[in-house]
Structure 1
Amino acid sequence: MTGTGPIPSPRHAWITVGYVVIAIGFCFVPSIGIEWFAASRSQVLVGGIATAIALGAVHLFRNRWPTVVVVAGLAVMTVEALATGTTSVGAILIECDALYSLVIARSTAQTRRLLPMIAAACLSIAVAGLLLANILAAALLQVTILLLAVGVTLWWGITVRAPMTRAEEERERAALIAEAAAARQREALVAERLQLSRELHDTISGHLSAITIQAAGALAATAPLTAEELTKRLGRIRALSLDAMGDMRTLVDVLRTDTSSPVALPQNWSSVDSLIAGARESGTSVTLTGDDPATITLDPLVSVTAFNALREALVNAEKHAPGRDVTIDIRREAEAMSMTITNGQHPPAHVGAVSSGYGLIGLAERVRLCGGDLDIDRSDDTWALRVRLPLTAGRETQHA
């Protein structure tokens, strides 16, 4: 409601002009106004016109500085009363409109409590004064009329301001709801991007790393490969390439749908035997201990996470410690499964395959979302990844 520019709008200016014209018109009506002491008619007329013009000049800025306008108006009215002995009706009219603007513009929790009490007090005193008009002194009766004008103006402003306040509160509430919805949307978008990054790394990066290792093994062979060995190695590379293309196509299909978030790719615990066999075919010595993986049934989300944990450990072993033995120990517990993958490490001087650094980060996120625990132990000569996962993820678990 409060103006923002120093110059009043044309609409507000014309309203002020209208008040001034009406106030000047009242000045020409004899014996109208609140008389405090006797003065000449010409003195009252000139004083009333001057007061109307002065109040009008101040009234122009009622929407920008409502408090200042009300205080200045009271000062002008006081000067009129002292100079002419009369408070003109026009001055009361303009000042009441300024007071109304103040009530509309300045609405706080404190004013919403105080103003109704002040208005009720003014109206109560005014009504009592009018009922006792025959016995009250003239000056007290004039004050009663002023209190009536103030009380009516305040009550009018309060009545108009109340729905405006409710509307502002509703707008603020709607804005807060919109901000909360936007925040939830941003969180969902971030979660979806994190999930996509995990899917991309766990599928495409895994296949590409295996392809790189197969090619590097062929190039690093001390003796030329036989035709059979070369055909077998190339067939393995071709199979990995086709798997990567299939997984990429699945991801693209997910991104082209209208689902809120992508689903996990179909690599899960049921494919663990193929995963171990592929590692052995690439030249890694893998020893499996503990329980048979085929006897362990996992929730779909946990199944994907367990598969990715084992694949990440095997890929890292092939990249950073080629030729070293890998031991996989799988244990089924009452409500969980534990898996420990251990392999030897090359000396620090060994330079392995380049790592993106995101594999273990994504794996940690997956394990956390399933309610499990992940631990990585690096000693001087061994590297161990330990993961413990519940057999069934909780209801609140998101896509792992």
Structure 2
Amino acid sequence: MLLEKTIGEVGMLHERPMAEARERLDSLIKPPGSLGRLEELAIQLAGITGNPRPVVGDRVIIIMAGDHGVVAEGVSVAPQEITHQQLPAFLNGVAGIGVLGRLAGARLVVVDVGVAVPVDYPGVLNRKVRPGTGNIARGPAMTREEAVRAVEVGIEVVQEEIDRGATLVGLGDMGIGNTTPSSAIAAALGGFDPGEVTGRGTLVNDEVLQRKIEVVSRALEVNRPDPADPLDVLAKVGGLEIGGLAGVILGAAARRVPVVIDGFITTAAAMVAVALQPRAREFLIPSHLSGERGHRLILEHLGLVPMLHLNMRLGEGTGAALAMHLVEAACRIINQMASFSEAGLTALDGEKILK
């Protein structure tokens, strides 16, 4: 099936282009390593693309949307209808991701993979697997077959975008209540206590936060997801948009296209993707540290270090959009800065002086 085929197509980073990129960066008119993470990012991009002088062309942010039956447990102060109401605002460019995506020069692809109601809005891709998940506090979110299908939706969508020319992919999410299943996924796959990885989501108060922690604990007790089987975890305590995002990661990695993850939700999706195929981790670019409790822990679990610390917690792909500027900067450094020899400079004891 498509999922198994895609998992098998995810390769390793190309070592020789990485070495060539590192050599190039060390030759530029600066102290070696002085541009820090930008240099590391350029080397990673060389390994992903196989090009020692990587460039960024067409960029896309894929936003997966889905609803969650667990909102019936009172885990969110926002009503569920906001999920579908926000989608036109994304495409019209007036939501946060609309503004920041436009600034980044990225087109937005909005996908209904599991919104609870029919979405009839021009531009929204209808790839609905089912109208929302089940209530994970009382039973599984979806069947295993539906979980697989959600992941495959992500694979199909991203590979269609790559066929259209996308060279950089960002992840975004929309789904009222989705911090609760994301926390359950984090607890199941990362071995964390629910209290460590369950945060406030949409500004819930202390009472609702405690309820969320109890709901996540109950979901794990009721469903008993197998941490050795990421599809079991996704099916039992996950979300349709989370599965779709995991598929985007796998589909892009299989085509050797870098993926910029956003905040807590998309990083939970990355946990699923990396559990399915550990090599997918090397294709991930962590954008920022979310203000959501638990994000730091799951980033550390994946061995990823975020580039931005802005205390953002909106989701939608906003952090990914901002980080695309840094990806572009890394490419420009390696391609547009001159080496000592190209600039007619020489280095002596670490000092740059004119010949």
> Per the shorter chain, which TM-score range?
under 0.3
TM-score by length of 1: 0.21
Higher share in helix: 1
Larger Rg: 1
TM-score by length of 2: 0.23
